Structure 1
Amino acid sequence: MYSFDVPFSKRLVQCICAITWCLFSGGPIFGFAALKPVLINERVYEYLCDETTHLVIEGKEVVSKCTDQDLKLNMMFTVGAVVTNVSALLIGRVLDVYGPRVCGLVGAGFLYLACFIFIFAKSLPAWFDPYLFGYAALALGGPFAYISSFQLSNSFPEKSGTILALITGAFDASSALFLIYRILYNSSGASFTLESFFTLYLLVPTFITVVEFLVMPAESYQTSPDSVLCVNDEENVSHLSPVNSAGHPQHSLSSGQEIRETSPLLASSHHRHDSIGDALKQPYELEGEEFLMEHTGGVFGILHGYTASAQIYTWWFGLICIFSTIQMLRLNYFVATINTQYQYIFGSIEKAENLNSFFDIALPLGGLISIPFIGLFLDNFSTVIVLTGLLAISLAIGILGFVSNYALAVIGVCMFVAYRPLFYTTISDFCAKVFGFETFGTVYGTIIMLSGIFNFSQSWLDKLTHTTFRMNPLPVNVALVVVTAISGVITVVYVHDQAKKFNASKKVPVRG
Structure 2
Amino acid sequence: MQGRSLPFRVATLVTGLLECLGFAGVLFGWTSLVFVFKEQHYFEELCEPDAGPLGNATGLDDCRARDEQFSLIFTLASFMNNFMTFPTGYIFDRFQTTVARLIAIFLYTSATLTIAFTSADSAVLLFLAMPMLAVGGILFLITNLQIGNLFGKHRSTIITMYNGAFDSSSAVFLIIKVEGGSSPVWHVGRTLLLMPRGHIPYPLPADYRYG
TM over 0.5: yes
Unaligned 5+ runs, structure 1: 55-60, 185-192, 227-512
- For 1:39 and 1:65, locate their aligned partners in 2 and report how far apart those are by CA, in whole Å: 17
The alignment status of 1:26 with 2:24, answered yes or no, reads yes
- For 1:4 and 1:174, locate their aligned partners in 2 and report how far apart those are by CA, in whole Å: 32
- For 1:32 and 1:198, locate their aligned partners in 2 and report how far apart those are by CA, in whole Å: 16
- Contact 1:24-1:204 within 8 A present in 2 as well: no
Q: Which amino acid aligns with 2:191?
A: E
- For 2:120 and 2:45, locate their aligned partners in 1 and report how far apart those are by CA, in whole Å: 16
Alignment: residue pair count? 197
- Contact 1:108-1:206 within 8 A present in 2 as well: no
The 1:218–1:49 alpha-carbon spacing in structure 2 relative to 1, beyond 3 Å, is: same
- For 2:43 and 2:179, locate their aligned partners in 1 and report how far apart those are by CA, in whole Å: 19
* 3-state SS of paired residue (1:7): helix
- For 1:156 and 1:170, locate their aligned partners in 2 and report how far apart those are by CA, in whole Å: 18
- For 2:161 and 2:78, locate their aligned partners in 1 and report how far apart those are by CA, in whole Å: 22
Matches within 5 A, 1:491-506: none
* 3-state SS of paired residue (1:203): coil
The 1:198–1:138 alpha-carbon spacing in structure 2 relative to 1, beyond 3 Å, is: farther
- Contact 1:153-1:164 within 8 A present in 2 as well: yes
Match of 1:37 in 2: 35
Runs of 4+ in 1 over 4 A off after TM superposition: 3-6
Which structure is higher in strand share?
2
TM-score by length of 2: 0.83
Matches within 5 A, 1:286-435: none
The alignment status of 1:163 with 2:142, answered yes or no, reads no
The 1:141–1:218 alpha-carbon spacing in structure 2 relative to 1, beyond 3 Å, is: same
Match of 1:47 in 2: 45
- Contact 2:40-2:119 within 8 A present in 1 as well: no
- Aligned mate of 2:101, from 83, 104, 128: 104
Per-residue CA deviation, residues 242-271 of structure 1 (Å, 9 max, x unaligned), is: xxxxxxxxxxxxxxxxxxxxxxxxxxxxxx
Identity of aligned residues (%): 22
Match of 1:141 in 2: 136
- Aligned mate of 2:126, from 127, 131, 144: 131
Per-residue CA deviation, residues 41-77 of structure 1 (Å, 9 max, x unaligned), is: 1111111223x149xxxxxx8xx84121010011111
Match of 2:202 in 1: 223
- For 1:219 and 1:150, locate their aligned partners in 2 and report how far apart those are by CA, in whole Å: 14
Question: Relative contact order, CA 8 A, sep 6+: which one is greater?
Answer: 2
* 3-state SS of paired residue (1:118): helix
Give the deviation of 1:120 after TM superposition: 3.1
- For 2:4 and 2:103, locate their aligned partners in 1 and report how far apart those are by CA, in whole Å: 24
The 1:147–1:218 alpha-carbon spacing in structure 2 relative to 1, beyond 3 Å, is: same
Match of 2:54 in 1: none
- For 1:171 and 1:4, locate their aligned partners in 2 and report how far apart those are by CA, in whole Å: 29
Match of 1:120 in 2: 117
- Contact 2:150-2:204 within 8 A present in 1 as well: no
- For 2:120 and 2:72, locate their aligned partners in 1 and report how far apart those are by CA, in whole Å: 22
Q: Which amino acid aligns with 1:116?
A: L
Q: Which amino acid aligns with 1:130?
A: L
Matches within 5 A, 1:56-135: 65-122=62-119, 129-135=124-130
Q: Which amino acid aligns with 1:86?
A: F
Give the deviation of 1:33 after TM superposition: 2.1
Q: Which amino acid aligns with 2:129?
A: G
RMSD: 2.6
Q: Which amino acid aligns with 2:188?
A: T
- For 1:123 and 1:105, locate their aligned partners in 2 and report how far apart those are by CA, in whole Å: 30
Max Rg structure = 1
Match of 1:176 in 2: 171
- For 1:107 and 1:167, locate their aligned partners in 2 and report how far apart those are by CA, in whole Å: 17
Give the deviation of 1:198 after TM superposition: 4.2
- Contact 1:108-1:205 within 8 A present in 2 as well: yes
* 3-state SS of paired residue (2:202): coil
Matches within 5 A, 1:174-253: 174-178=169-173, 181=174, 194=177, 197-199=178-180, 202-224=181-203
- Contact 2:92-2:143 within 8 A present in 1 as well: yes
The 1:132–1:53 alpha-carbon spacing in structure 2 relative to 1, beyond 3 Å, is: farther
- Contact 1:21-1:204 within 8 A present in 2 as well: no
Unaligned 5+ runs, structure 2: 52-59, 206-211
Per-residue CA deviation, residues 311-331 of structure 1 (Å, 9 max, x unaligned), is: xxxxxxxxxxxxxxxxxxxxx
Q: Which amino acid aligns with 1:68?
A: A
